[in-house]
Amino acid sequence: MTSITPNNGKKKIVIVGGGFAGLNVAQQLYNDRHYEVTLVDKNNYNYFTPLLYQVATSFLEPSSISYPFRKLFRDKRLNFRMAGVVKVDPAAKIVYLTNGELPYDYLVFAAGASTNFYGIESIKQNAISLKEIDDALRMRNALIKTMEQAAITTDPEERRKLLTIVVAGGGPTGVEVAGMLAEMKKFILKKDYPELVDAKGKIYIVDGGANLLAPMSDKTHKETRQALIDLGVEVKLNAHVSDFSNGVVTFADGEKLEAKTLIWAAGIIANTFEGIPATSLGVGRRMITDEFNRVKDLEDVYAIGDISVQMTDPLYPKGHPQLAQVAIQTGRNTAKNFKAMARGKALKPFKYFDRGDMAIVGRHNAVVDLFKHKVHLSGIAALFVWLFIHLISLVNYNNKVKTLYNWMVAFLTRDQALRMIFGKGENKAA
């Protein structure tokens, strides 16, 4: 990474967040002669969010899906600052960080979203969420600790409770977590924990809607549900979790279920920052933007990815979905518009191209809907599409090699050697 101070008259662009959206802006602009670009992130690494659940379930190591920013941008003309954002002063055009401040000419918010607990404090305190690498490690440690505890417990009812896991949320994360946990229970538990071969305990997936993977096709709904059932997962639809305390999951209709672990994958809410006026925020606290991703009621401030909502696209009047592809595309379009702006050319409105949706259930069941559900794939064809798309989307060649190797081992052996507890990343509920 090459320092580019002083900027020799270049406009300063500060990008807050190095996920899919922010990284794509930085990658497109780092060598542009009109701009000095600074990327700010609270972590010193980029990570591939769609595969967090595989780290959490011990099928991938953290380094397989993450890569340090400074190495990623080595020898490139871009500044990096590891810091959190305290507040922004749009009038003075200054971002105040946990370790200083940065002036800007243009500010790009790409700071994503965090887990939405919908104001339920007991769930926030006791459930396991999955949005960051630290969350994945906490989940991995908590699951392994729970199995170790179950292995020495002599009370069958206590053991059943320890081995019962509820996954709340029927989107891709919830479905993929439930499928991977079912694979572990079916093929790994009896190898590592012979004491638990005949133990009771179930894996549940719960969703408030009528279908899992709701935005996808009817074929996907049916195939996903059946694949999970075949793996031994109990599917509960039209059900809302309202409380989780003392090892009891309570549903909105009053039903209760004893379970040691609740994994919360039921929604996200955009990150917000002091200094952004309330009039600039819309549904889910997302920053309202125009078709060029400029934030409402602010000058020279942009928002892209999960943190933004753009309602100018007639195909998405309620805003685009908070997906990786949207983040990538908004990042690239915003970078192109910065280049056009510097050269006095017309800006290009953002138009989302829906490449499709996909999910994997367990080791070898996958579902893929392409071109707005016009093409549906399942079985081995869908599996290879899922594997290919996720592999090429990883940020670096090293990540691709490590992930491919780990996947091959897991696929051929139905196992991995990554079930180790490291560090202090224990879940609060453990």
pLDDT in tens, 34-91: 999 999 999 999 999 999 999 999 989 999 999 999 999 998 889 999 999 999 999 9
**Exposure of 316 in the CB half-sphere (CA atoms within 13 A):** 16
Which residues have CB under 8 Å from 333's CB, separation 6+?
Answer: 293, 348, 350
pLDDT at 425 (0 to 100): 44
Strand partners, 210: none
Q: Where are the alpha helices (DSSP H) in 133-217?
A: 133-152, 156-162, 172-183, 189-192
Residue 284 has pLDDT above 80, yes or no: yes
The number of beta carbons lying within 10 Å of the beta carbon of residue 158 is 15
pLDDT at 3 over 90: no
The Cα 361–Cα 216 span in angstroms is 14
- Taking a C-beta distance cutoff of 8 angstroms, is the pair 179, 233 a contact? yes
- For residue 243, pLDDT over 60 is answered with yes
Q: Give yes or no for residue 8 having a pLDDT over 80.
A: no
pLDDT at residue number 287: 98
- Which residue, among 289, 301, 295, 282, has the nearest Cα to 89 in the 3D structure? 301
Please state, in angstroms and rounded to a whole number, the distance separating the CA atoms of residues 402 and 390. 13
In three-state secondary structure terms, 124 is: helix
* Model pTM score: 0.91
What's the rounded Cα separation, in Å, for the pair 7 and 319? 36
DSSP-derived secondary structure letter, 22: H
Residue 1 banded pLDDT, cuts 50, 70, 90: low
244-259 mean pLDDT = 96
| Average pLDDT of the residues of the chain | 92
pLDDT of residue 428: 45
User: How many other C-beta atoms can be found within 10 angstroms of the C-beta atom of residue 157?
Assistant: 10
Give all domains of the chain, ordered by start, each with its CATH number.
11-42+83-115+269-342 (3.50.50.60), 121-266+356-413 (3.50.50.100)
Q: Angle 20-29/324-342 helices, nearest 10 degrees?
A: 30
C-beta separation of 36 from 58 below 8 A: no
Cross-strand pairs, 82: 41
- Cβ atoms 79, 5 nearer than 8 A: yes
Q: Among candidates 266, 374, 389, which has minimal Cα distance to 325?
A: 389
Q: Residue by residue, what is the 3-state secondary structure of the chain?
A: CECCCCCCCCEEEEEECCCHHHHHHHHHHCCCCCEEEEEEECCCEEECHHHHHHHHCCCCCHHHCEEEHHHHCCCCECEEEECCEEEEECCCCEEEECCEEEECCEEEECCCEEECCCCCHHHHHHCEECCCHHHHHHHHHHHHHHHHHHHHCCCHHHHHHHCCEEEECCCHHHHHHHHHHHHHHHHHHHHHCHHHCCCCCCEEEECCCCCCCCCCCHHHHHHHHHHHHHCCEEEECCCCEEEEECCEEEECCCCEEECCEEEECCCEEECCCECCCHHHECHHHCEEECCCCEECCCCCEEECHHHEEECCCCCCCCCCCCCHHHHHHHHHHHHHHHHHHHCCCCCCCCCCCCCCEEEEECCCEEEEEECCCCEEEEHHHHHHHHHHHHHHHCCCHHHHHHHHHHHHHHHHHCCCCCCCCCCCCCCCCC
pLDDT higher than 60, residue 4: no
Residue 386 has pLDDT above 60, yes or no: yes
Q: Is the pLDDT of residue 426 over 70?
A: no
**CB of 172 closer than 8 Å to CB of 207:** no
- The tokens describing 276, both together, are 């952004």
Q: What is the pLDDT of residue 424?
A: 54
What residue type is assigned to position 166 of the chain? V
Q: What pLDDT score does 7 carry?
A: 54
- pLDDT greater than 90 at residue 176: yes
Quick one: DSSP state of residue 126?
H
The CA radius of gyration of the chain, in Å to the nearest whole number, is: 22
Of 12 and 374, the one with more pLDDT? 12
Strands 301-303 and 106-109: parallel
With a cut of 90, say whether residue 408 has pLDDT above it: no
Q: How far is CA 399 from the centre of its chain?
A: 17
Q: How many CA atoms lie within 13 A of 401 on its CB side?
A: 4
Using the predicted structure, report yes or no on whether residue 366 has a pLDDT greater than 70. yes
pLDDT of residue 293: 98
Return the pLDDT at 372: 75
- The pLDDT tens digits of the residues spanning 297-355 come to 999 999 999 999 999 999 999 999 999 999 999 999 999 999 999 999 999 999 999 88
**63 vs 47: CA distance, rounded Å:** 9
